[in-house]
């Protein structure tokens, strides 16, 4: 049975798409904007720019001083942030109902009139901050760059997902104020954005307020390129080995998958749960609790829109165990699963976990708003949030088996191996 979160859609004359879902259980409203720009839109030599740009959105705009976006909303009892990912950039705050107008006004000011406030000093400052973020989250962390290496191994060189959202130090250094202006004009406009309100607001009232603050923003006459065609699985195994002072050997296996709204993606995601996502999954049972040749096995999928998604296995190899032997077992289990398909119990558990996880995600207004924005921006279908569990439950065991055969074939794996030793890259 579909969920029944209420949902009203509206489009402003300037193209801004609005989603409103009233929920009066708490006297707060979440304002959530998804701009249709992410690291997949970056050009060579400017990796990391979409994220650096996101930081500049907090440094002031026409009528807002640097830092005021944070300080005004926080003093009003708002919690806020923004994130950048391959496919999009999101900006969000949850505020007491009485601060909704302030939040909309602030968002309209920066989404419409950021460039008035951008200057070399705040670009330089936030470039430094982002470089520290890169060091803190990636460069100074064991295995911190493993996903970067995996993207580069599993996706083709010229593909939008080949490089990570954080970018490279050299490209961050190269960014200029002119780049900021060009990027804003190319990507930030009401016709390239979705605005969702979830919370203590009725649709009519919400739409009127959004009209008040956003109607004057000019469209950018955006003509986005169509998403890239579906990539096939890797035609042969690919491999990248890093010898590094990591605490233990760790293997990452990546697989190209169908894009996130392709039913084959859901089938592959269920296969991944049965293989390595669940505690009762085959790989956990065999490698972690069985012969104990691994201390942990994890499996999950990342859904994308631009021609491919990613299936991911990560295995911590136990001390004294040969990582190649562990990889062999992973291959065996992938083959066995493709032959046998999922058991009834595996599917039951994968669906039960997905249901609890999805309902848990939607339990808070802010995450519910983010889910609506996601489906509205990237798929023009916010109601998918209500239907997702039914679509997942409709996947047959045969579809799971077929997805595993076609997309989780060991021959199509990309392996990134982080092995203990003195630093070196092979």
Pick out residues in 89-128 that bind another protein (CB under 8 A).
94, 96-99, 101-102, 104-105, 109, 112-113, 115-117, 124-128
63 binds another protein (CB under 8 A): yes
Beta-carbon count within 10 A of 224 CB:
11
Q: Choose between 216 and 339: whose C-beta lies nearer to another protein.
A: 216
Closest CA to 30 of 190, 206, 191: 206
Q: Give the C-alpha separation, 111 to 105, whole Å.
A: 10
CB of 96 to another protein, least distance (A): 4
For residue 283, the minimal CB distance to another protein (Å) is: 14
The residue from 8, 14, 15, 23 that contacts another protein (CB under 8 A) is 23
Query: What residues are paired with 240 via a beta bridge?
Result: 416
- Tell which positions 302-361 bind another protein, by CB under 8 A: 316, 318-319, 345, 348-349, 351-357, 359-360
Give the integer Cα–Cα distance in Å for 380 and 15. Answer: 13
- What residues have CB less than 8 Å from 52, skipping those under 6 apart? 126, 127, 130, 167, 172, 175
**Residue 140 binds another protein (CB under 8 A):** yes
137 near another protein, judged by CB under 8 A:
yes
Part of the chain binding another protein (CB under 8 A), chosen from 10-18, 35-43, 150-158, 275-283:
275-283
Write down the residue that tokens 């009834």 correspond to: 344
Beta bridge partners of 84: 89
What is the tally of helices (H) and strands (E) in the chain? 15, 12
CB atoms within 10 A of CB 389: 17
Provide the mask over 243-262, with x wherever binding to another protein is found by CB under 8 A and - wherever it is not.
--xxxx--------------
CA separation for the pair 30, 199 (Å, rounded):
6
Q: Is 173 in the site for another protein (CB under 8 A)?
A: no
Q: Outline where DSSP puts E strands in 130-246.
A: 193-199, 238-244
Cα–Cα distance measured from residue 218 to residue 20, given in angstroms and rounded to the nearest whole number:
22
Contact 354, 395 (CB under 8 A): no
Q: How far is the CB of 228 from another protein (least distance, A)?
A: 30
Residues 389-408 that bind another protein (CB under 8 A): none
Chain positions 194 to 253 lying near another protein, rule: CB under 8 A, are: 212-213, 216, 218, 245-248
Work out how close the CB of 76 gets to another protein at its nearest, in angstroms, rounded to a whole number: 5
Give least dist CB 174 to another protein, A.
Answer: 17
Among 228, 238, 280, 302, binds another protein (CB under 8 A): 280
3-state secondary structure (DSSP) of residue 29: strand
CB of 394 to another protein, least distance (A): 18
Residues 405-424 binding another protein (CB under 8 A) are none
Tallying the residues shown for the chain, one arrives at 426
| Least Cβ distance, residue 226 to another protein (angstroms) | 26
């Amino acid at each position: 049975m579909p969920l029944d979160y209420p949902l009203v859609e509206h489009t402003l004359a300037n193209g801004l798409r609005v989603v409103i879902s009233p929920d009066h259980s708490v006297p707060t409203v979440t304002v959530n904007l998804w701009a249709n720009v992410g690291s997949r839109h970056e050009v060579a030599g400017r990796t990391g720019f979409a994220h650096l740009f996101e930081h500049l959105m907090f440094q002031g705009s026409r009528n807002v001083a640097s830092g005021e976006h944070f300080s005004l909303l926080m003093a009003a009892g708002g919690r806020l942030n923004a994130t950048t990912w391959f496919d999009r950039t999101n900006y969000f705050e949850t505020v007491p109902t009485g601060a909704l107008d302030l939040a909309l006004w602030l968002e309209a000011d920066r989404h419409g009139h950021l460039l008035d406030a951008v200057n070399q000093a705040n670009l330089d400052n936030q470039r430094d901050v982002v470089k520290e973020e890169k060091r803190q989250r990636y460069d100074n962390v064991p295995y911190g760059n493993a996903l970067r290496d995996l993207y580069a191994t599993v996706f083709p060189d010229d593909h939008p997902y080949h490089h990570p959202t954080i970018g490279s130090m050299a490209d961050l250094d190269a960014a200029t104020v002119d780049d900021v202006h060009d990027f804003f004009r190319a990507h930030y406009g009401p016709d390239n954005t979705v605005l969702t309100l979830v919370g203590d607001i009725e649709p009519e009232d919400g739409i009127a307020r959004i009209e008040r603050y956003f109607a004057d923003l000019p469209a950018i006459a955006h003509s986005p390129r169509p998403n890239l065609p579906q990539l096939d699985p890797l035609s042969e195994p690919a491999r990248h080995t890093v010898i590094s002072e990591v605490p233990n050997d760790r293997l990452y296996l990546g697989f190209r998958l169908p894009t996130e709204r392709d039913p084959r993606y859901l089938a592959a995601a269920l296969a991944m749960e049965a293989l390595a996502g669940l505690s009762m999954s085959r790989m956990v049972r065999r490698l972690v609790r069985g012969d104990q040749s691994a201390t942990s096995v994890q499996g999950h999928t990342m859904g994308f829109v631009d021609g491919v998604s990613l299936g991911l296995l990560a295995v911590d190899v136990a001390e004294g165990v040969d990582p190649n032997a562990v990889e062999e077992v992973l291959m065996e289990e992938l083959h066995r699963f493709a032959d046998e398909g999922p058991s009834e119990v595996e599917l039951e558990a994968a669906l039960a976990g997905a249901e609890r996880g999805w309902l848990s995600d939607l339990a808070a207004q802010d995450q519910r708003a983010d889910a609506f924005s996601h489906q509205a921006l990237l798929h023009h279908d916010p109601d998918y949030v209500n239907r997702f569990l039914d679509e997942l439950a409709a996947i047959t065991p045969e579809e799971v088996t077929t997805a595993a055969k076609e997309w989780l074939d060991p021959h199509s794996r990309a392996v990134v191996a982080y092995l203990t030793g003195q630093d070196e890259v092979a």
